[in-house]
Structure 1
């Protein structure tokens, strides 16, 4: 009978522990990269549900191809319900309890700014997906925040370029009374007034977001007899404004220039009530004809049996951005991620974009065109794609607009 002394048992146990420890190294190396994602899923589902599908598609494609740095992506998502306080609670939980490697997401500009400030305090990377306020990258910009979507400045500059061609001199504005609406009106007025010093601003209406009294807003605007109107409302507020405006003749014989109205998220609910001839930014998914978009469209429709909205593109491009930054950094160290994000190039359904080193703003652009009704649905026609690189202030100017890091 074989006997084993205590010394042999000790040696065997030590060898076993060493082997288990050594064997565990590759397993840890393949642990997922944890991405904390926050968005207003219950607050603005028309945009954020397609956005969720977009980032899910990107995660699935990247993981099927071997992940990033040999590790799969794992998105841990939270709903902020459209409230900044809930977003900060979610961010804190994701960082402290879930131990995420970085943060991403947000829709409303005030929420994006709150999460950006949180990221600055916690020294963690934040890739903002949707918020449009210019403060995100300039006045309240942070080295820890990068922003994907074309800013209010870019969209206002694109729309003002078209508005300046109109004969209209008397302008009214209608915008939700929070950061996004205020920022959009401010920059549009600035740029259009520079192009057309003869412009007169005759009215401003500031309904609360999500609670517009559309009849009162339409009547008050009508009373000032504008030649043209800038609209910044979206979602259910836009539907109400269009209906009341049509009933009261607000849009009759007037030009309307409108932020983001051409996005399917906001055109679809209007159906055959879609106004004719509004100048809008948006996403004419049915008619975009490029190899990058064709590939994305085919993959999206195959995966979800649905057509993409702009939110789908944003969600998809956000995850592609994160993957590109991590790949370039070769690390999850925050400082290395920040350095890698400056100047990183990302393939998107709208083509190749770059994140500018000076302000961490991407050069993603927007489609601009006019609205019409086709087969009972609102669509964009006569559109062109404008790159954000052609409308952003140069990087030296942008750097002066940012607060010191």
Structure 2
């Protein structure tokens, strides 16, 4: 039988509960995320796990603005039109606060343009094209990942030291590969004016005819090769080139070849001595990386890939922006992103006000093979801020608006 005393006790208990659990008192803050999960699963499966770890940590710590966060994801099939439709649906139906994600550069550019039209914040996680923060930049788009220009600039010192004159180039024929190739040719020519580019092979993404490509490069008799191939295309190129002796006496630089997503599947076929950017996850001893590594392995019983770091850091960037803005108002969020400082597994980064590019760095070194596996046998970490053009050059490239 209910008494006045029991009713008062129940009311007191409910009041106390509301005081200790403010993070769950409101609907979660939804963040809309778009990516090419089916097309680029090797990178994006770990990326999704990285996001999940970040969401768990943020919510366990009380959320943000007194609310949980929730990432609502959509697959864009690697298609710009599908990505824009997904972005529209996330904003109109799911009522997300803003947008994050994307992988291919052409898809990232499409979503960036959509964000500009809708005046909605977009944190581009992975698209590497330089256009997204320079030539086709807009006030609402910010980019986390180290760009094609930045990663190429990190490889240039090693290329210059070798002083190879005859270079061949191979790349996937879409925005990322085109952007990487343009940056490499420009930066190397500036440092080594006598360089010659004797062959160039643009291959359809995911459909490389490795035998024909290798033969064309071999016919040009290069001293060195610059590649921006990745994934299955890279694996096919490595195998065909090794079988036909393309790499004997030839120095090879591959832009993403040290990332576990693309290196691990090669196993003992990993090409010894190649110069790459990558992620030597098991050799990094910094406190911030150890904290991330321990948490990731405890949750997933697996080692992180570079995608894991990108997914985690993207969510942490979004949360930091909301905290700094103190609001979900788009203009306040955009203002908060300019100069935003974020702690990541690679150390602190800043989103530069001048071009909305983060200063996330990466690891540069050479590949080796040990115990039947490829690994980065030598490496150094390069801070992203040290691989960017001058402010004057950025101002010339980035639209005034």
TM-score (norm 1): 0.92
Aligned length: 380
**Where do residues 237-316 of structure 1 align in structure 2 (5 Å cutoff)?**
237-316=233-312
In the TM superposition, what is the alpha-carbon distance from 1:28 to its structure 2 partner?
9.7
**Cα distance in 2 between the residues matched to 1:330 and 1:31:** 16
In the TM superposition, what is the alpha-carbon distance from 1:228 to its structure 2 partner?
0.1
In the TM superposition, what is the alpha-carbon distance from 1:84 to its structure 2 partner?
1.2
**Cα distance in 2 between the residues matched to 1:397 and 1:303:** 44
The equivalent position to 2:73 in structure 1, one of 77, 80, 86, is 77
1:49 matched to 2:45: yes
Unaligned runs of 5+ in 1: 1-25
1:132 matched to 2:121: no
TM-score (norm 2): 0.93
1:324 matched to 2:320: yes
SS state at 2:162 partner: coil
Aligned to 2:387: 391
Aligned to 1:96: 92
**Cα distance in 1 between the residues matched to 2:239 and 2:393:** 42
**Cα distance in 1 between the residues matched to 2:390 and 2:64:** 32
**Where do residues 80-159 of structure 1 align in structure 2 (5 Å cutoff)?**
80-159=76-155
Q: Is the 8 Å Cα contact of residues 152 and 183 (structure 1) preserved in structure 2?
A: yes
Q: Is the 8 Å Cα contact of residues 358 and 396 (structure 1) preserved in structure 2?
A: no
In the TM superposition, what is the alpha-carbon distance from 1:27 to its structure 2 partner?
9.4
**Cα distance in 2 between the residues matched to 1:233 and 1:306:** 26
- RMSD across aligned C-alpha pairs, in angstroms? 1.1
Q: Is the 8 Å Cα contact of residues 123 and 141 (structure 2) preserved in structure 1?
A: yes
Unaligned runs of 5+ in 2: 1-21
The equivalent position to 1:366 in structure 2, one of 350, 362, 373, is 362
Q: Is the 8 Å Cα contact of residues 23 and 67 (structure 2) preserved in structure 1?
A: no
Q: Is the 8 Å Cα contact of residues 356 and 395 (structure 1) preserved in structure 2?
A: no
The equivalent position to 1:39 in structure 2, one of 14, 35, 40, is 35
Aligned to 2:5: none
**Cα distance in 2 between the residues matched to 1:50 and 1:286:** 16
Aligned to 1:213: 209
In the TM superposition, what is the alpha-carbon distance from 1:374 to its structure 2 partner?
1.1
Aligned to 2:9: none
The equivalent position to 2:176 in structure 1, one of 169, 176, 180, is 180
**Cα distance in 2 between the residues matched to 1:360 and 1:398:** 11
**Cα distance in 1 between the residues matched to 2:23 and 2:211:** 62
**Cα distance in 2 between the residues matched to 1:317 and 1:127:** 11
1:189 matched to 2:146: no
